[in-house]
Amino acid sequence: MNEKIGKALVVGAGISGIRSALDLAESGYRVILVDRAPHIGGILSRLDYQFPTDRCGMCKMLPMINRDSSSQYCLRKGLFHENIEILLSTEPVSVQGEAGHYRVALRKKPSLVSEELCIGCGECIKACPVEVPDSFNAGFTTRKAIYLPAPHRIPNTFVVDTDSCTMCGACEPVCPTGAIRLSERERRQFKILVVDDELIVRDSLKELLEDEGYSVDMAESGAAALERLSGQKYNLMLLDIKMPGMDGVTVLRKAKEEFPDLTVLMMTAYATVETAVEAMKIGAIDYLLKPFETDLLIPKIAGICNEFEIARARFVDVEAIVLCCGTGFFNPADGKDTCGYHTLPNVITGIEFERIVSGTGPCGGQLIRPSDGKRIEKIAWFQCVGSRDLQNNADFCSNICCMYAIKEALLAKSGTNGEAETVIFYMDMRTFGKSFQRYRDKAQGEYGVRFENARVHSVVPEDGTGNLLVRYVDTCGKIHEECFGMIVLATGQRPAQGTGELAGITGISLNAWGFAETAPFSLTETSRPGIVIGGSFSGQKDISESVIQASAAAACASRAILASGKGPIPESPPETVSPELLREPPRVLAVVCTCGKSILAYTDENKLSARLKTDPEVNHVIFSARICTADGWDELAGQIRKFKPNRLLIGACLPYMYGRKLKKAEKETGLNASLTEITDIRTPVIRFSGENPGENKAAVIIESHLRMGLVKLKQAEPSTAPSLPVTRNCLIIGGGIAGMTAALAIADSGIKVDLIEQSEHLGGNLKWITETLEGFSTLTLLNDTIQRIEKNPEIEVHKSSSVLASFGEAGHFMTTVENSKKKIRTIEHGAIILATGGKETEITAYGHGTSEAIVTQKEFEQRITARSLDPSTLSSVVMIQCAGTREEPKNYCSRICCAVSIKQALFLKKQNPEIAVYVLYRDMMTYGFTETFYTQARKAGVIFIRYTKDSKPEVMVSGPVPKVKCFEPTLGKDVEITADLVILAAGVVPELPAGLASAFGASCDTDGFFLEAESKWRPVDSIKEGVFACGLAHSPRTIAESVATAEAAAQRAIRILSRNRLPSGKVTAIVRHSLCSLCGQCIEACPYGARSLDTENEKILVNPAMCQGCGTCASVCPNKASVIEGFSTRQILEVIDAALCI
Partner 1 sequence: MSEFEPTIVAFFCNWCTYTAADLAGTSRLSYPHNIRIIRIMCTGMVDPQYIIKAFLEGADGVLVSGCRPGDCHYINGNYKARRRIKLLREILPQFGFDQQRLRLTWIGASDGVHLSEIMRAFTAQIKALGPSQTKLKMVI
Please tell me what DSSP assigns to residue 587: -
Angle, helices 248-258 vs 273-282, to 10°: value is 10
Site string for partner 1, 141-160 (x = CB under 8 A): -------x--xx-x-x----
What is the spatial distance between Cα 381 and Cα 1031, in angstroms, rounded to a whole number?
34
Of positions 296, 311, 512, 1139, contacts partner 1 by CB under 8 A: 1139
Task: Return the number of the residue (332 or 1126) whose C-beta is nearest partner 1.
Answer: 1126
What is the spatial distance between Cα 483 and Cα 518, in angstroms, rounded to a whole number?
44
**Minimal distance, residue 67 CB to partner 1, in Å:** 11
Task: Return the number of the residue (73 or 623) whose C-beta is nearest partner 1.
Answer: 73
For strands 468-474 and 450-461, give the pairing. Answer: antiparallel
Q: Binding-site residue total for partner 1 (CB under 8 A)?
A: 64
| Contact between 1128 and partner 1 per CB under 8 A | no
| Contact between 351 and partner 1 per CB under 8 A | no
Element at 782 (helix H, strand E): helix 778-791
Question: Cβ atoms within 10 A of the Cβ of 824, count?
Answer: 10
| Contact between 1109 and partner 1 per CB under 8 A | yes
CB 61 within 8 A of CB 75: yes
User: Based on C-alpha coordinates, what's the Rg of the chain?
Assistant: 33
For strands 854-856 and 752-756, give the pairing. Answer: unpaired
Of positions 850, 1087, 1098, 1119, contacts partner 1 by CB under 8 A: 1087
Question: Cβ atoms within 10 A of the Cβ of 639, count?
Answer: 18
Task: Return the number of the residue (688 or 776) whose C-beta is nearest partner 1.
Answer: 688
| Contact between 1114 and partner 1 per CB under 8 A | yes
What is the spatial distance between Cα 833 and Cα 1022, in angstroms, rounded to a whole number?
10
Task: Return the number of the residue (267 or 681) whose C-beta is nearest partner 1.
Answer: 681
What is the spatial distance between Cα 832 and Cα 732, in angstroms, rounded to a whole number?
6
Task: Return the number of the residue (644 or 697) whose C-beta is nearest partner 1.
Answer: 697
Contact region for partner 1 (CB under 8 A) — 105-113, 679-687, 823-831, 992-1000? 679-687
Contact region for partner 1 (CB under 8 A) — 360-368, 490-498, 574-582, 976-984? 360-368
Of positions 316, 625, 657, 686, contacts partner 1 by CB under 8 A: 686
CB-based burial of residue 1140 (10 Å sphere; 0-12 exposed, 13-18 middle, 19+ buried)?
exposed
| Contact between 1079 and partner 1 per CB under 8 A | no
Distance of CA 203 to the CA centre of its chain: 50
Paired residues of 755 in beta bridges: 732, 797
What is the spatial distance between Cα 190 and Cα 401, in angstroms, rounded to a whole number?
45
Q: Which of helix, strand or coil describes residue 227? A: helix
Contact region for partner 1 (CB under 8 A) — 23-31, 538-546, 686-694, 934-942? 686-694
| Contact between 758 and partner 1 per CB under 8 A | no
Of positions 417, 572, 576, 689, contacts partner 1 by CB under 8 A: 689
**Minimal distance, residue 1023 CB to partner 1, in Å:** 8
Paired residues of 191 in beta bridges: 215
Site string for partner 1, 66-105 (x = CB under 8 A): ------xxx-xx----------------------------
**Minimal distance, residue 693 CB to partner 1, in Å:** 5
| Contact between 1072 and partner 1 per CB under 8 A | no
CB-based burial of residue 573 (10 Å sphere; 0-12 exposed, 13-18 middle, 19+ buried)?
exposed
Q: Which of helix, strand or coil describes residue 178? A: coil
**Minimal distance, residue 48 CB to partner 1, in Å:** 5
Task: Return the number of the residue (221 or 1129) whose C-beta is nearest partner 1.
Answer: 1129
Alpha helices by DSSP H, 599-696:
605-612, 630-643, 659-669, 682-686
Task: Return the number of the residue (682 or 903) whose C-beta is nearest partner 1.
Answer: 682
Task: Return the number of the residue (64 or 648) whose C-beta is nearest partner 1.
Answer: 64
Contact region for partner 1 (CB under 8 A) — 332-340, 490-498, 715-723, 1080-1088? 1080-1088
**Binding residues for partner 1 restricted to 11-30, rule: CB under 8 A:** none
**Minimal distance, residue 760 CB to partner 1, in Å:** 41
| Contact between 394 and partner 1 per CB under 8 A | no
Paired residues of 1070 in beta bridges: 1123
Task: Return the number of the residue (395 or 408) whose C-beta is nearest partner 1.
Answer: 408
Closest by CA to 979, choosing from 836, 1065, 876, is: 876
| Contact between 924 and partner 1 per CB under 8 A | no
Task: Return the number of the residue (322 or 1013) whose C-beta is nearest partner 1.
Answer: 1013
| Contact between 1124 and partner 1 per CB under 8 A | yes
Q: Say which residues have a Cβ less than 8 Å from residue 514's Cβ, sequence separation at least 6.
A: 494, 495, 499, 500
Q: SS3 for 481-520, per residue? A: EEEECEEEEEECEEECCCHHHHHHHHCCCECCCCCECCCC
Distance of CA 276 to the CA centre of its chain: 52
What is the spatial distance between Cα 225 and Cα 245, in angstroms, rounded to a whole number?
12
CB 376 within 8 A of CB 483: no
**Binding residues for partner 1 restricted to 566-605, rule: CB under 8 A:** none
| Contact between 1080 and partner 1 per CB under 8 A | no
Of positions 586, 987, 1026, 1111, contacts partner 1 by CB under 8 A: 1111
CB 490 within 8 A of CB 405: yes
| Contact between 1115 and partner 1 per CB under 8 A | yes
Contact region for partner 1 (CB under 8 A) — 80-88, 391-399, 456-464, 1103-1111? 1103-1111
| Contact between 43 and partner 1 per CB under 8 A | no
What is the spatial distance between Cα 112 and Cα 206, in angstroms, rounded to a whole number?
24
* C-alpha distances out from residue 260 to 147, 254, 279, 1086, Å: 42, 10, 14, 70
Site string for partner 1, 1016-1045 (x = CB under 8 A): -------x----------------------
| Contact between 447 and partner 1 per CB under 8 A | no
* C-alpha distances out from residue 85 to 30, 32, 35, 152, 451, Å: 8, 5, 11, 20, 47
Site string for partner 1, 696-735 (x = CB under 8 A): -xx--x--xx--x---------------------------
Of positions 836, 1108, 1121, 1123, contacts partner 1 by CB under 8 A: 1108
**Minimal distance, residue 812 CB to partner 1, in Å:** 24
CB 1054 within 8 A of CB 1012: no
User: Within a 13 Å sphere around the CA of 859, how many CA atoms are in the beta-carbon half?
Assistant: 19
**Minimal distance, residue 1083 CB to partner 1, in Å:** 14
Contact region for partner 1 (CB under 8 A) — 413-421, 426-434, 940-948, 1081-1089? 1081-1089
| Contact between 1075 and partner 1 per CB under 8 A | no
Task: Return the number of the residue (748 or 1025) whose C-beta is nearest partner 1.
Answer: 1025
**Minimal distance, residue 684 CB to partner 1, in Å:** 7
What is the spatial distance between Cα 364 and Cα 801, in angstroms, rounded to a whole number?
58
Q: Say which residues have a Cβ less than 8 Å from residue 868's Cβ, sequence separation at least 6.
A: none
**Minimal distance, residue 1014 CB to partner 1, in Å:** 8
**Minimal distance, residue 361 CB to partner 1, in Å:** 8
Would you tell me which residues interact with partner 1 (CB under 8 A)? Answer: 48, 53-57, 59-60, 72-74, 76-77, 120, 122, 148, 151-152, 154, 156, 358-360, 364-365, 654, 683-684, 686-691, 693-694, 697-698, 701, 704-705, 708, 1023, 1067, 1085, 1087-1088, 1108-1112, 1114-1115, 1124, 1127, 1129, 1132-1133, 1135-1137, 1139-1140
